[in-house]
Each structure stands twice: as C-alpha cells, then as structure tokens.
Amino acid sequence: MILDSKSPAGPLAEKWTKHKFNSKLVNPANKRKYDVIVVGTGLAGASAAASLAELGYNVKAFTFHDSPRRAHSIAAQGGINAAKNYQNDGDSVFRLFYDTIKGGDYRARESNVYRLAEVSVSIIDQCVAQGVPFAREYGGLLANRSFGGAQVSRTFYARGQTGQQLLLGAYSALSRQVANGKVKLYPRTEMMDVVVIDGHARGIVTRNVITGEVETHAAHAVLLCTGGYGNVFFLSTNAMGCNVTAAWRAHKRGAYFANPCFTQIHPTCIPVSGDHQSKLTLMSESLRNDGRVWVPKTVETAEKLRKGQIKAAEIKEEDRDYFLERKYPSFGNLVPRDVASRNAKEVCDEGKGVNETGEAVFLDFRDAIKRDTEALIKAKYGNLFDMYQQITGENPYQTPMMIYPAVHYTMGGLWVDYNLMTTVPGLYALGEANFSDHGANRLGASALMQGLADGYFVIPYTLGDYLAQTPPVKVDASHPEFAKVSREVKDRISQLLNIDGKKSVDYFHKKLGKIMWNECGMARTEEGLKKAKADIQALRKEFWSNVKVLGQNEELNQSLEKAHRVADFLELGELMVDDALNRNESCGGHFRVEYQTPEGEALRDDENFAYVAAWKYTGDNKEEELVKEPLAFENVKLTQRSYK
Amino acid sequence: MKLTLKIWRQKNSADTGGFVTYPIDGISKDMSFLEMMDVLNEELTEKNQDPVHFDHDCREGICGTCSLYIDGKPHGPLQTTTCQLHMRSFSDGDTITIEPWRAKAFPVLKDLVVDRSSFDRIIQAGGYVSVNTGGVPDANEIPIPKTMADLAMDAAQCIGCGACVAACKNASAMLFTSAKVSQLALLPQGQIERKTRAEKMVAQMDAEGFGACTNTGACEAECPKGISLTNIARMNREYFSAVMSSENM
Ligand SMILES: Cc1cc2nc3c(=O)[nH]c(=O)nc-3n(C[C@H](O)[C@H](O)[C@H](O)COP(=O)(O)OP(=O)(O)OC[C@H]3O[C@@H](n4cnc5c(N)ncnc54)[C@H](O)[C@@H]3O)c2cc1C
Ligand code: SF4
Ligand code: FES
C-alpha cells in the first residue's frame, strides 16, 4: 500500500493558492452548526482554536495544564523564522523552502515545506498585530538574528523568550474567544482516547485531572495539537509533562505514525550533572552566533581539565581545537543541529570532553566579549547567561560555558496529508504532534513557525473542506462507541492502580530513557537496536506486573497521570527502534553507524529510502506494518548535504 | 545534606490540611529544589505513602507553573522561580517549611497545588488586542521606538506564576494585571481598546476576590521576572483616565 499525500498538482509556488481556491467552503451561517475539538493549547492548538472560533465554529479546547499559557511552547527561546527579507540579504520564500528541505536532509514533503515558507511572512504580521513585543532596531523596525543551517538573517525574536511571547499572543487570541463564548476551555483535562465511528473521528474521552472523572465529548472533527514525544528519553529539554499519549491513542485507533525514529538532539544544552537529574536545560542555539565551540587539542590537556588541574582560560590559543570552524569553514559554529551534536559527541568519545563526566565541550564568549563589550553580550543573551549561572553556579562571562547535546525535538509524529489530516478522516494533527515539515532534522526557529502556520493559516482552510462535506447535524456522545471507549479507559485506570507492584513509575521511565539514549540516540547500530528492542519488550512486561501506582482515580493523582504516559512511551519506544532498524541509511538526526561517508557524515540512500515510513498499528504486542509515502523532489536536487 | 521538611498536606479543597514533617538525607547541593522534592516523593512511594503533590512543568523558570511558598517566601529565598532554586541556597541541617500560595482567589486543590484560573479570567476580560487571524498590516508598517518595545517587553515577561499575590498581605493581583495592561498600553497596537481594557480587567480582578493594593512593594520584591511597580502606577493612570471618560457605560 502506498500513502497519498493529496498534494495538489501544478507548480510548487501555485499549489497552496490553487488548493485554497479548490477547497470547499462552509457558509458563514452554517459554521455555528459544527463543533470542533482541539486537544492541546500550545502554539498550534491555541492558534487553531482561536482562528476557528473567529470563523464561527464552536470550539472545545482541552489541555492537561492548568492554563493554556503553560504549554511547552512557552519555553522556546531563540526565535521564529520568516522569509520577510527585511534584511535585504537575499532571503525569499524559495530560499527558506530550500534551506528547510536541505536542513531536513531531503526527507520532507516539498509541497508542505513550500507552503510553510509561504505563510511564514503572515505569521509575523499576525503576531505583531496582536502586540507581540518582538525585538526592534533603533529605527523602530523589526530586528533579526541568524540561526543554524541558514546564511541569511531571518529569525525574529523577543529577547530569549520568543516562544513565551508568541504563545501569550496566541493565548490572548484564544482568551478573547473564550470571553466571546466561542471557545469552551477545559483546563486540567487530559485526553485519554479518540472515539472513531464509521471510520471518522467523532470525539474524545477525557479524564478530569482534579476529580478523576472520565468524560466523553463529541464533535464533527478532532484536532490533536499535543506536542512532541522527546520525553520518551526521560531526560530531554522538554517540559516534564510532554508526552505521546494523545498521539499514541490515536495511532492505536488507526492513525499511522510517521518517522518515529527522527528525533533531534540539540547541541547546546547544559550537561548532565548527576543521577538526580530530572530534565535538561537548553541554551538557545542563538548563542552559537557569538559563542565559539572548542575542546583542547590533546587528550592530555583535557584530562588535566577534568581533574581540575588547569582552567579553560589557561589553555593557549594554539592548543584549542575549534572543531566546527575547522571542519566546516563556511558555516562554522552555525552548522545544523545534527552536525553540531554529532561532532561534539565525536570529540568527547575521543577523550577530549571538558567536564568531570567527560561529556561536555566549551561554548566560549571570550572573543565576542572582547569584540562587542560585555554590555552588548548581556543585552543579547542576559537571561540565558543568568539561567546558566543559576543552574551550574558558574559565571559564563568569566569562564566558558560547558555544553553537551540533549534530546530536544521530535520530527516524527502522526502522519498527515497536505490537509494535515491523519489516516483517520476527521482527525487532524498540528504542530510538533505531526511529522510534516522537518524531514530528518529540524532547523532552529522552524518549530514555532510550523506550529503557528498550521494553526493560524492552514487548518482554517483545510478543515473547512472536510466539514463542508460533513452534514451539519447535531452530534452527541450517545453513540455506544463512546460508552465502549470510556469503559476501556476506566479499565486501564483500574488496571494500573491494582498492579500494586514494587517499583515507581519513574524507575521504569528512567530505565526506558537509558535504553533509548544509548541505542536509539545520536548514533545507532543494527546490533544495538536489536538489543534495545528486546530490552524494551522486557521492561514493558515488567511494568505491567510490577509498577506501583498509589492513591485512587477520584482525586488529583500525579503518579497515575505519569503511569499512563510511561505506559505509552514503553510502546512508542519499540516502534522508534523498529523504524531506526528499518531505515538502513543515515539522514539528518538519524545516524546509523554502518552508513557514513569517509569523512563521517551521514550517508543517505536516496534510491531505497526517499520515503516517509508510516507505521500502522496491528494489535498489542504485534509487529506494526510499514506503509510508505514515496517522496518526489521536483524542485530541488538531492545532494550530499555539505556545510563545509 | 540532611534536612527536615515541614510540608503542608491537604487531601483536597474540602480538607482542612496541616503540616507534616519529613526528614530527608543525601541531598546534593547541585540538585534543584524540585529534584529534592522528587527524591522525597520516591521515598514516600517506596513506603506506600501518598507523594506530595506540587505543580511544575518546564523547570526552566518560564512556564510559571511551579508555586511553592518556602520559608515564608514565594519561590523561596532567591528572586527566582522555585524550579530555578538550587539546594546550594540551603545548608546542612536546615528545616525548610513548604506551603502552597495562600489567597482567597487561589483555592488549594491538593497539598501544594492551587487553582490559578482566576488569572486566566482576568486576561479573558480584556488582555488582548481584538484582531482576527488574517487581514492585518505588514509587520513593519507598525514601527515602534525601540525604547517603547523594550519597556513593553519588560512588562510582557510576566509568567503568571502568582508569587506577587502570594507575597502580598492583601493578596492583590495588581502586579500581574498591570503587567498586561502596561504591555498593551505602551504599544500602538493596544491604543484602540486602551480605556475599556483597563476598566474590564480591574473589574474582573475585583470580582475574583483579589485584595486591594496598598503599595507595600512586596510583590515587586518577590517577582521572579522583575516586573516593576511602575506598571501598577501606569495601570492606575490608565484606569482613572478610563473611568473619567468611560466607554463602558
Ligand atoms: C527548550 C526549548 C526551546 C525551543 N526553542 C525553540 C525556538 O527557539 N524556535 C523554535 O522554532 N522552536 C523551538 N522549540 C521547539 C518548539 O518550542 C516546539 O516544537 C513547539 O512549541 C511545539 O508546539 P505545539 O503547539 O506543537 O506543542 P506544545 O506547546 O508542546 O503544546 C502541547 C499542548 O498539548 C496539551 N496536551 C498534550 N497531551 C495532552 C493530552 N493527552 N490531553 C490534553 N492536552 C494535552 C498540552 O497541555 C499543551 O497544551 C524549543 C523547544 C524546547 C524544548
Ligand atoms: S508579576 Fe511577577 S510574580 Fe506576579 S505573576 Fe507575573 S511573574 Fe509572577
Ligand atoms: S516549572 Fe516552569 S517556571 Fe517553574
């Protein structure tokens, strides 16, 4: 079987315009007859819910957070890309498209990526109109910075809190619709399952996190905007609550899961300090604009550093290896994330790591401070430097920062067609929850862009096309399928509460994380992956017989919430391993040690693997079925990515 | 480090609640405060005791979810969020008292978890510019002096944590509300609805049961994002000029 992306025919630059024109419309008076469920109120969900409500649909918006403003999008620091070409430095929609396709190592769908680049310009207009305080030049116009994988300055930012400001913008638009009565908001409500009737998504089952009440909600369409699954690794830069549950339940109800093994390891994170660690902290990629990455040239010097016998500042210029600048002279410290991460791992594996654990490299601002003054560096990155100091207790103005790669983003996700519809009609996936635009590696500042593109500018059109073909009859949760799914949810809750085992939920989560990080992280081998698969199966079995979840359902029960999420991670983990095993090539963030160029770069196999790997669920503890969506490249030439 | 924790335990909003004392050992200085709480919860789970419930998510000081009242101060001894507080701020042998935010408008849900949805309702009352998606001018058609944009950004940094309310003896939400009012009052985009916004948001704030502001400045002193009292002064000006020429009659 081959998946149809429903990408419109015709020249790339005209596809979206034509598609919008050809989409069916719901007339204004009829819009109020349609109910839409939006799960997740991060950038993707809040922007979608607000925009759909403005059009007149009745929206119900769900989040497990206490407020939409808490969504993980709030944590994005660096910025958002847009092809505005305000800098007159040669940017264009086509260049942003090209950079994104190339950055993704030619594993993304051309039509989607082009549309993303095309609507990027409207996003900035929209956010400014909402009052998002982007950084400005003295003349009052918008300022830009550069990000990895691009040679133009196209990143808009609000100090080091771009995600916060964009989310608060979308949240304000959403709040306005809540006040207007067009959005009913369900905070602290977790989606537990999707209800599919006659092949169409018709609602969801939720659990009220405070009371434990299991409820059903019906609608004409369901949008999953539930974020990424990086926490399958336990340690990641994601917020503690990020999870795969909504996407995974949808997967088990028929939505294919695409490219699950495509995960992004971010090069600039604060290194792990000990076993107690609960999460990792990202230092924005924007720091690579001014910071220089290095390790000592020799293992001996590195050893002295690790033992505390010398300090970084004492190491002479000629004894330092600025390895990114040396290997990639044209992109230098601004190579894409996968390349930067892999190189950091490589020098640490050689024994040149600079902290006690041997897993850290320097990110040094000495030269930037000399060139631009400390005050200027402070103005640019002050809050990041403060955060670094708070966490590590060291002053990065005086000693170089130490960084190491950490899990950061998941390019994989629910498979969606050009309309952002999953393989279940009426069920959509937006934002990080889908797989759509970043191929095998996402460029910095492109996730915010994608989330808002999906929510503000894509779904209002594509959802209309579906709803126009759905009769506007009232829906409710009286269909027996709702009762059935709701019972299944309750059964699972009581199952978890009654195992009465010996090990905490975190014990299993940490173990799973270790397996994933070691075997399905920055470097993957056939042997390691096979071992990981067996280990995960064993761990899953142990979980279901030996996990300890205290308390009851009818109360705020954080262990129970976590247990549900970890149970799903234990299934997803195996699928990620399967996907990594299937893909006998290296591309972007997926690095199979067996497939590399003589210089150690990722070696793609376009002949055999220029496809999206979508996985179809076939039953518990059964192998999933691989379904391919071939990728056709009509507008770019597939080349070996080079940032030299 | 060896510590004694005095923690507020409360089963649900109907329960009266009270302090329970827990000894804890083996805490390293590099742990964050919440990681110390994780260790405690693992130990409690081990002993089949209900873990202490507390709100948290990003653990990076930006989502505003964490909210502990530590030794009589919201977010503890430093002017930062609880999740950014590290154990190096404490000493071996310390006794640490941990409570939830206390305010009428923030009812306790369980242990250290409170309901801050009143903040959402204040924003819903007017904390936005009324523009729909699409049909807006090009971003650079609205030039904004850098100094104004920077001031607006200073106010916009509020993370909605509620420490200002917890710090205030009257449980006033003036700092939070004024941060949003200021951000939009400083920007050209916010001018059209300037008057109605201040009035509606202040009215909602009062309706939620937050107390009056008596200018003690406790909120500013405890705000992890350095939101300044000048925002309150600005909101007061906005509010009075609005009621003088009210459009909300
Ligand atoms: C530290 C950090 C920095 C980043 N910096 C940048 C950057 O500078 N530029 C950039 O472009 N990208 C950045 N990213 C990536 C980007 O922030 C995310 O990819 C993006 O914000 C995801 O948005 P989203 O709307 O898809 O999901 P999220 O913001 O994660 O929102 C998910 C929503 O779904 C809800 N939810 C999830 N599951 C359920 C469920 N079962 N039931 C009910 N609700 C549920 C949550 O409550 C939440 O509201 C960064 C990421 C991290 C971790
Ligand atoms: S003003 Fe400060 S203390 Fe109050 S909610 Fe905002 S960030 Fe928190
Ligand atoms: S957990 Fe997000 S601010 Fe503390």
CB contact under 8 A, A130 and B129: yes
Cα R_g (chain B), whole angstroms: 20
* Long-range contacts formed by B35-38: CB under 8 A, 24+ apart: B35/A276, B35/A277, B35/A278, B36/B3, B36/B87, B38/A276, B38/A278, B38/A506
Query: Using CA atoms, how far apart are residues B138 and A128, in angstroms rounded to an integer?
Result: 9
Residues A175, A211 within the same domain: yes
Residues of B in contact with A131 (CB under 8 A): 128-129, 152, 183-184, 187, 189-190
Residues A367, A453 within the same domain: no
How many Cβ pairs closer than 8 A exist between chain A and B? 213
pLDDT at A430: 98
- Regarding the beta carbon of B65 and ligand 3, being less than 6 Å apart is answered yes
3-state secondary structure chain B: CCEEEEEEECCCCCCCCEEEEEEECCCCCCCEHHHHHHHHHHHHHHCCCCCCCCCCCCCCCCCCCCCCEECCEECCCCCCCHHHCEHHHCCCCCEEEEECCCCCCCCEEECCEECCHHHHHHHHCCCCCCCCCCCCCCHHHCCCCHHHHHHHHHHHCCCCCCHHHHHCCCCCCHHHHHHHHHHHHHCHHHCCCHHHHHHHHHHHHHHCCCCCCCCCCHHHHHCCCCCCCHHHHHHHHHHHHHHHCCCCC
- Regarding the beta carbon of B59 and ligand 3, being less than 6 Å apart is answered yes
Domains within chain B, CATH numbers bracketed: 3-110 (3.10.20.30), 116-245 (1.10.1060.10)
CB contact under 8 A, A173 and B128: yes
- Regarding the beta carbon of B175 and ligand 2, being less than 6 Å apart is answered yes
Query: Using CA atoms, how far apart are residues B67 and B83, in angstroms rounded to an integer?
Result: 9
Select from A381, A406, A431 the last residue of a domain.
Answer: A406
| B34-62 average pLDDT score | 97
And the tokens for A251? 């997967």
Q: Choose the mutation target among A70, A165, A266 for the interface with B, i.e. most B CBs under 10 Å.
A: A70
Query: Using CA atoms, how far apart are residues A466 and A419, in angstroms rounded to an integer?
Result: 9
Q: By three-state DSSP, how is residue A633 classified?
A: coil
Select from A406, A428, A443 the last residue of a domain.
Answer: A406
CB contact under 8 A, A240 and B152: no
CA of B57 to the centre of ligand 3 (A): 6
In chain B, positions 105-164, which contact chain A (CB-CB < 8 Å)?
109-110, 113, 115-117, 119-120, 123-125, 127-134, 136-140, 142-146, 149, 152-153, 156-157, 159-160
Say if B89 is an interface residue toward chain A (CB within 8 Å): no
Torsion of CA A449, A454, A455, A459, to 10 degrees: 160
**What do you get for the CA distance between the two ends of chain B, in Å?**
61
CB contact under 8 A, B125 and A179: yes
Beta strand pairing call for B18-24 and B3-9: antiparallel
How many CA atoms within 13 Å lie on the side-chain side of A233?
30
Residue A322, φ and ψ in degrees, nearest 5: -85, 80
Residues A253, A328 within the same domain: no
Residue A637 lies in a domain: no
Using alpha carbons, list the distances in angstroms from residue B181 to A148, A163, A448, B176, B230.
36, 20, 26, 9, 12
The CATH number given to whatever domain includes residue A416 is: 3.50.50.60
Residues A215, A85 within the same domain: yes
Degrees, nearest 5: CA angle A608-A15-A103: 45
Using alpha carbons, list the distances in angstroms from residue A403 to A199, A245, A329, A345, A521.
48, 31, 21, 11, 17
Residue nearest (by alpha carbon) to ligand 1 atom 5: A76
Residue A613 lies in a domain: no
CA of B81 to the centre of ligand 2 (A): 10
Residue nearest (by alpha carbon) to ligand 2 atom 4: B164
- Regarding the beta carbon of B161 and ligand 2, being less than 6 Å apart is answered yes
CB contact under 8 A, A47 and B57: no
- Distance from the A286 Cα atom to the nearest Cα atom in chain B, whole angstroms: 17
Residue A283 lies in a domain: yes
Select from A425, A442, A467 the last residue of a domain.
Answer: A467
Query: The sheet that has B73-74: what strands, in order across it?
Result: B18-24, B3-9, B95-99, B69-70, B73-74
Q: By three-state DSSP, how is residue A33 classified?
A: coil
Helix (H) or strand (E) holding A377: helix A374-392
Query: Using CA atoms, how far apart are residues A403 and A412, in angstroms rounded to an integer?
Result: 25
pLDDT at B246: 61
Residue A617 lies in a domain: no
- Which ligand is nearest the CA of A67, by number? 1
CA of B83 to the centre of ligand 2 (A): 15
pLDDT at A179: 98
Beta carbons within 10 angstroms of residue A323's beta carbon? 20
Residue B61 CA, closest ligand 3 atom number: 3
CB-based contact A116:A437 (threshold 8 Å): yes
Beta carbons within 10 angstroms of residue A483's beta carbon? 14
pLDDT at B248: 52
Residues A225, A243 within the same domain: yes
Residues of B in contact with A239 (CB under 8 A): 57-60, 63
- Regarding the beta carbon of B64 and ligand 3, being less than 6 Å apart is answered yes
Q: Choose the mutation target among A85, A122, A125 for the interface with B, i.e. most B CBs under 10 Å.
A: A125
Residues A274, A206 within the same domain: no
Residues A526, A463 within the same domain: no
Residues A256, A197 within the same domain: yes
CA of B173 to the centre of ligand 2 (A): 9
Residue A620 lies in a domain: no
A184-213: per-residue pLDDT in tens? Answer: 999 999 999 999 999 999 999 999 999 999
And the tokens for A149? 């994988």
Give the range of the structural domain holding residue A394, as residue numbers without chain letter: 267-406
DSSP letters, A213-282, are -EEEEE-SEEEE-----GGGGSSSSS-TT--SHHHHHHHHTT--EE-TT-EEEEEEEPPP--TT-----B
Query: Using CA atoms, how far apart are residues A572 and A549, in angstroms rounded to an integer?
Result: 21
Residue A627 lies in a domain: no
- Regarding the beta carbon of B61 and ligand 3, being less than 6 Å apart is answered yes
Number of residues in chain B? 249
DSSP letters, A581-621, are HH--S-BTTB-BTTSB-TTS-B---HHHH-EEEEEE--STT
Residues A447, A497 within the same domain: no
And the tokens for B45? 């789970």
The CATH number given to whatever domain includes residue A285 is: 3.90.700.10
Residues of A in contact with B62 (CB under 8 A): 74-75, 161, 164
Residue A642 lies in a domain: no
Residues A257, A277 within the same domain: no
Beta strand pairing call for B95-99 and B3-9: parallel
- Regarding the beta carbon of B164 and ligand 2, being less than 6 Å apart is answered yes
CB-based contact A133:B129 (threshold 8 Å): no
Residues A39, A62 within the same domain: yes
pLDDT at A328: 94
Residues A401, A418 within the same domain: no
Number of residues in chain A? 644
Buried b (16+ CB within 10 A) or exposed e, A577-613: bbbbbebebbbbbbbbeebeeeeebbbbebeebbbbb
In chain B, positions 174-203, which contact chain A (CB-CB < 8 Å)?
183-184, 187, 189-190
The CATH number given to whatever domain includes residue A589 is: 1.20.58.100
Residue A446 CA, closest ligand 1 atom number: 11
Q: Choose the mutation target among A86, A278, A547, A562 for the interface with B, i.e. most B CBs under 10 Å.
A: A278
Residue A503, φ and ψ in degrees, nearest 5: -110, 145
B134-160: per-residue pLDDT in tens? Answer: 999 999 999 999 999 999 999 999 999
Residue B5, φ and ψ in degrees, nearest 5: -110, 125
Beta carbons within 10 angstroms of residue A180's beta carbon? 12
Query: Using CA atoms, how far apart are residues A276 and A420, in angstroms rounded to an integer?
Result: 40
Residue A621 lies in a domain: no
pLDDT at B249: 47
Residue B167, φ and ψ in degrees, nearest 5: -80, -20
Using alpha carbons, list the distances in angstroms from residue B22 to B40, B44, B47, B70.
8, 10, 12, 15
Strands, E assignment, A534-600: none
Q: How many domains does chain A have?
A: 3
Residues of chain A short of pLDDT 70, as ranges, are none
Residues of A noted as catalytic: 337
